[in-house]
Copies of this chain bind each other. A is one copy, B any other.
Amino acid sequence: MGEQRSTASNEEVLARIAWSRLTEPRDRAAGLLLATLGAVEALHWLDRARQPIDRAGALAEVSGIDPEVDAKAWSRAVARWAPRLRDLDPRRELQVITRLGGSVLIPGDPAWPPGLDDLGPEAPHCLWTRGDPALLAMPAVAVVGSRASTAYGNHVSAELVAGLVDGGRAVVSGGAFGIDATAHRATLAVHGTPVAVMAGGLDRFYPAANAAMLTQVAQEGVVVSEAPPGTAPMRQRFLSRNRLIAALAGATVVVEASWRSGALSTAHHALTIGRPLAAVPGPITSAASAGCHRLLREGAECVTAASEVLQLLAPLGSVAEQVRDVPAGLLDDLDQGQAQVLDALPVRAAVDESALVRASGLSQAQVRSALGYLELAGRVRRDGPRWRRAGS
């Protein structure tokens, strides 16, 4: 994709590559800074902010961006980012990924998956890809689960994946042992579109035992990461990687998960950004299904077949219809902010307040006040710490 870009957007690509190197995933200050200044200008700002002589002025410039980042937090952010400026070489990074047959996607690229924008300030700065990035535009379902899967979980994953591919869906997973690998392999077996989301750089596929499979995923589908080549897959990166799996998929299905499985973090991310979450039940005597039953008790949809997963992915038209279903006159009494918050609430899923702040573009105080009104009006209701539409 790189060679088709204009000079201006090439500069943007290089700047975002730089930011992908400068920051760890989910650095909200970076997300807010780039959303406000743009990646290129944000680099210039960082250059000023790290010089003692320019610091005060630079901090003053960003003081109003977001109440969650105050002057102290900006100083800490500069202290986090500046040390990595020295070794920065975005052009070389671009060459590395190109040599691997890959490319870099940035927001605004035709292949940029719009679902990532739902992550707000925690969206990745860019997406490193190997394979055909255009496939990221396909509607997709995430199939995730335990590394220590059982024969039951593997069987169920393969059946589910075959049905999802049949239903025209790409299948997103994390490339790990167990359910992830089974999901990728089953997708390849039925000539579907696999999407693997890595926690580390794409120069080395991890875990090594899955490298051959992941190479095939890159041939038939696409492997992506928010980490530049050379990044080691550390524990924290696996957890933050899970939000990309959830955001790249229209729905997430947990097939098998122990009580404290990492797959539950993917499930949590799906709920946070308002995507349907499903879990496959299993024997209650199997520890490998305990996490799934936990999710079912917390409100995940119980699914036993691909058709039931596909039902969760209502086409956009039917969702709009559901929204229109509200009796006339009931929408009229909402003010702008209340209407924005209600619009930001997904039709079926529950989301937390901070997700509504991100999705509505309003302040936390505005969102909270709007939620208070909407609750009294019976339009929304609490669901544990989250909120959902009253009818859902």
Contacts and interface: CB of A to CB of B under 8 A. Distances in A.
A5 interface: no
Contacts of A376: 378
A379 B377 CA distance: 9
Interface in A288-303: 289-290, 293, 296-297, 301-303
Interface residues of A, number: 29
Interface in A333-392: 375-379, 381-382, 390-391
A285 B375 CA distance: 41
Contact of A293 (B281, B379, B391): B281
A296 B296 contact: yes
Question: How many copies of this chain does one complex carry?
Answer: 2
Contacts of A297: 301-303, 308
A280 interface: yes
A214 interface: no
A283 interface: yes
Contacts of A155: 285
Nearest to A297: B302
Among A284, A301, A304, residue most surrounded by chain B Cβ atoms (within 10 Å): A284
B304 A302 contact: no
Contacts of A289: 281
Interface of A: 152, 155-156, 280-285, 289-290, 293, 296-297, 301-305, 308, 375-379, 381-382, 390-391
